[in-house]
Amino acid sequence: MSNFLPITKKECDALGWGVPDFVYVSGDAYVDHPSFGTAIITRVLENAGFKVAVLAQPDYKSCEDFKRFGKPRLGFLVSAGNIDSMVAHYTVSKKKRTYDYYSPGGKMGLRPDRAVIVYSNRIREAYGDIPIILGGLEASLRRFSHYDYWDNKIRRSVLVDSRADVLTYGMGESIILKIAKLLDKGVPVKKIRGERGCVYLCKRDEEIPFEVGCEFDFNKIKESKEEYARAFGIQYKNQDAISGKALVEYYDNKKLVQNPPAFPLEREELDKVYALPYARNYHPVYEKEGGVPAISEVKFSITHNRGCFGACNFCALAFHQGRQVRSRSIESVLREAKLITEMSDFKGYIHDVGGPTANFRYSACKKQLTDGVCTNRKCLVPTPCKNLIVDHTEYIEMLEKIQALPKIKKVFIRSGIRFDYMIYDKSDKFFRKLVKEHVSGQLKVAPEHCSSSVLSYMGKPDISVYDKFREKYFKLCKEYGKEQYIVPYLMSSHPGSKLEDAIELSLYLKDLGLNPEQVQDFYPTPGTASTVMYYTGINPLDGKRVYAPDDYREKLMQRALLQYKKPENRNLVREALTLAKREDLIGFEGKCLVKPDMRVGSDFYEKNIKNQPRESKKTTKNSKKSNTKGKISNKKLSSQRVVKNTKNSHSPNQKAKNKKK
């Protein structure tokens, strides 16, 4: 018998269980690794003495597979998996994806759209009124009425549509344990009302055990974009365990109640969670299909923290994990690192030591620990708060101790670095250590854009902060003799971004000699302020109007401008520049982004090429040189580039060009 939890009735019987206490239903394949929510919740319950079976990616076309283990003693726990099922299935252009990283062999179609709704309804078909508790990212971010990009409308809370009993939001270890213990004592699931981090439905006149901060009405929200933006702004500001209050949303004769957030796990509690006996791999049943691809990114990586006070507007972390940062002890991280070194396929490299933000270890300031996070401003933008504590000391110590372990050759930090936090550190000790020891050729950071206006809507620092980081990074690379690069994450079509802003970004990239191979179109997903901006044209955090590009053609043009060098983007770039009245950037001079359209029938062809005299086929080489009067030479038709100092270029693609120069 493996050290995985049972996934079949036969395995349950072998353990002498009869029926399990809980069946955990997941939209992902079963991976028992602490980077997967399924693994953490099931191991936490197991550690508390509960018998948990895993029903991973069940056949959802009928209720039969949900009867695999029989009727569990206490209930079903339902999650869509590590990511929203709609994001897993569709691109930002709403096209079907062809690969699922969380399914065996990357196979698509093993989970349904809107997975928690489908799973819960199948369970109701199978067992009627058995307790159903929702959790995970999909449920957490859809706990209130929300704009659904794929339906292009406001949908009800997922708790209403799923017919589940309780929804747990945020990081659920402490919440699920409390619910499990109450059910085990015989408390009816409909009576579980007083636990933080829970959402439930009840009658309109039922009393609520917490102070109510605000009330909303679904019928008003779905009809009024202003009301929806206002509601989200209030919800966003009540996601702190210290300052947050209960919130109510009315659905005809019922009301949905969100209790205040659960308190984040403290260091000792987090250490216990990560010390549980995870198998640290996918279940062997998937081996014949090539395994589960998602494990490759995290198998030799370590998560050391939770929460993020960066609070970018396009990120759902603030609405899910919260803005209060908590971290594991150095000893806990070292124990996990030692476990990794004992794995048979470990090659000596820790791929990442990070989290939502790799270089955060503590809350932004001491005030957050007593009064909660500020609701009227952010910690890092538009400028750093005067109370912000910037300190990399413990992170440095942790990295050094991991590096000193036997069998470890190198420790990398692959992503999640908050570059503005690094710049605000008066000591450059961590910056130097990062460049000298922890970059695997390329460092991924997220400036996202260069337009000050767009960056303000994103909740990101001004581009001047990134420029300082970039310049220092390459200066240190040169000092240490390192040939290393930066891979910047860039986003097109974010609310607030106009064609003019996309052009500004393309000129910025041109000036840096950067030719990004990948950019991300803004993807409106539940639980983010930016999604509300996209749908309503209102910034929910301040109530001000914001331009939101939602025209498909314009979004194509904004994306093309970021990759203006690609041949397939030339027509879109010309179209964008013409619409923005920036024809000065169409031409052959060094400042230009794209050449004119010289095809037959184009304006440029009609004006400059069509009526030019043609050379005789018998023209000699000498006569060709003199027969160019009135013609556009090949040289003039070629792009005249301005030669820049590109020794600090971002991309390896520039390497060969630099050598030639």
Question: Per residue in 319-336, pLDDT tens?
Answer: 999 999 999 999 999 999
Q: State the Cα–Cα distance between residues 559 and 512, nearest whole angstrom.
A: 18
pTM (two decimals): 0.90
pLDDT, tens digit, for every residue of 380-408?
A: 999 999 999 999 999 999 999 999 999 99
Classify residue 25: in a domain, yes or no: yes
pLDDT, tens digit, for every residue of 466-492?
A: 999 999 999 999 999 999 999 999 999
Q: Which residue has the tokens 């991991």?
A: 402
What is the pLDDT, as a whole number, of residue 609? 73
510 Cβ neighbours under 8 A, 6+ residues apart? 564, 593
Classify residue 138: in a domain, yes or no: yes
pLDDT, tens digit, for every residue of 448-462?
A: 999 999 999 999 999
What is the pLDDT, as a whole number, of residue 606? 66
Of the chain, the percentage scoring pLDDT greater than 70 comes to 92
Mean pLDDT within 200-221: 96
Domains contained in the chain, number: 2
Exposure string (b/e) for 353-380, b if CB count within 10 Å is 16 or more? Answer: bbbbbbbbbbbbbeebeeebbbeeebbb
Classify residue 463: in a domain, yes or no: yes
Classify residue 275: in a domain, yes or no: no
Strand order across the beta sheet in which 485-492 lies = 442-448, 485-492, 520-521
Q: Which residue has the tokens 């901060």?
A: 213
What is the pLDDT, as a whole number, of residue 600? 67
Contact 407, 341 (CB under 8 A): yes
Contact 222, 154 (CB under 8 A): yes
Contact 222, 155 (CB under 8 A): no
Q: State the Cα–Cα distance between residues 64 and 58, nearest whole angstrom.
A: 9
Mean pLDDT within 58-69: 97
Mean pLDDT within 275-295: 97
Classify residue 312: in a domain, yes or no: no
Host domain of residue 564: 452-524+544-593+639-661
Exposure string (b/e) for 259-276, b if CB count within 10 Å is 16 or more? Answer: bbbbbbbeeeebbebbbe
Structural domain ending residue among the three candidates 151, 169, 200? 200
Mean pLDDT within 251-278: 97
Tokens of 261: 């957030």
pLDDT grade for 636, boundaries at 50, 70 and 90: very low
Domain of residue 39, CATH code: 3.40.50.280
Mean pLDDT within 570-589: 95
Structural domain ending residue among the three candidates 200, 222, 243? 200
Tokens of 439: 């970059």
Q: State the Cα–Cα distance between residues 54 and 165, nearest whole angstrom.
A: 20
**Sign of the alpha-carbon dihedral angle for 474, 475, 478, 479:** negative
Tokens of 588: 């052959």
Classify residue 350: in a domain, yes or no: no
Pick from 365, 390, 392: nearest CA to 378: 365
Mean pLDDT within 267-280: 97
Phi, psi of 26 (to 5 degrees): -130, 145
Mean pLDDT of the chain: 92
Pick from 305, 332, 525: nearest CA to 421: 305
354 Cβ neighbours under 8 A, 6+ residues apart? 301, 302, 303, 304, 305, 413, 414, 415, 416, 417
Q: State the Cα–Cα distance between residues 561 and 582, nearest whole angstrom.
A: 12
Lowest mean per-residue pLDDT among 361-365, 614-618, 638-642 = 638-642
Burial of 350 (0-12, 13-18, 19+ CB in 10 A): buried
Cβ neighbours around 349 below 10 Å, total? 13
pLDDT for residue 528 is more than 90: yes
pLDDT for residue 565 is more than 70: yes
Q: What is the dihedral of CA 86, 87, 91, 92, to 10 degrees?
A: 100
What is the pLDDT, as a whole number, of residue 599? 76
Structural domain ending residue among the three candidates 200, 219, 237? 200
**Does residue 382 have a cis bond before it (omega within 30 degrees)?**
yes
Classify residue 514: in a domain, yes or no: yes
Of the chain, the percentage scoring pLDDT greater than 90 comes to 87
Angle between helix axes 267-274 and 173-184 (nearest 10 degrees) is 80
What is the pLDDT, as a whole number, of residue 82? 96
Cβ neighbours around 79 below 10 Å, total? 27
601 Cβ neighbours under 8 A, 6+ residues apart? none
Phi, psi of 171 (to 5 degrees): -80, 120
pLDDT for residue 639 is more than 50: no
What is the pLDDT, as a whole number, of residue 344? 93
Tokens of 359: 């270089």
pLDDT, tens digit, for every residue of 76-116?
A: 999 999 999 999 999 999 999 999 999 999 999 999 999 99
pLDDT grade for 615, boundaries at 50, 70 and 90: low
- Which amino acid, residue 642? V
Please name every residue paired with 31 in a beta bridge, in sequence order, or none if there are none. 282
Cβ neighbours around 62 below 10 Å, total? 12
Classify residue 23: in a domain, yes or no: yes
Burial of 580 (0-12, 13-18, 19+ CB in 10 A): middle
Mean pLDDT within 27-53: 98
Q: State the Cα–Cα distance between residues 440 and 484, nearest whole angstrom.
A: 8
Contact 152, 20 (CB under 8 A): no
CA angle 525, 531, 537 (to 5 degrees): 155
Question: Higher model confidence: residue 545 or residue 645?
Answer: 545
